[in-house]
Amino acid sequence: SLQKEIEKQWYQRRVRGEKDEFLDSVYWIRQIVAVVFGILWGVIKFKGLLGILVYIIINLGIIFLYYASYHEIDEEEYGGHGELAKEGLLTSFSLFLVFWIIL
């Protein structure tokens, strides 16, 4: 009983740690994508709403491929596609805009 409770707590911490690590990797991949595409959009002089929409589609597509193909996770464990799509999206969008506008 005490041993089972300790094992249960240890397992929950390990699973929570793995989830946090995965969400951290999603966050940082988004930031890298934002910098790369912000610079690219600035260099090729991509402008307007089309540039923003293409960036968002590419960003969401890369993250979807990352967790669906590479990690093969069950997205429901993380709150579904919507939660994974939102993880770090606004901060990466801000970073993308900064690099795009500067260049």
Question: Higher pLDDT residue, 24 or 18?
Answer: 24
Distance CA 75, CA 79 (A): 7
Q: Which element (helix H / strand E) includes 70?
A: none
pTM (two decimals): 0.83
Distance of CA 68 to the CA centre of its chain: 12
Distance CA 76, CA 68 (A): 12
Per residue in 66-85, pLDDT (tens digit) is: 988 877 788 888 888 888 89
Name the residue among 23, 7, 39 with its Cα closest to residue 75: 23
- 3 state DSSP class of 87: coil
Name the residue among 54, 63, 58, 53 with its Cα closest to residue 84: 63
Per residue in 46-73, pLDDT (tens digit) is: 999 999 999 999 999 999 999 888 777 8
Least reliable range by pLDDT among 4-18, 26-40, 43-57:
4-18
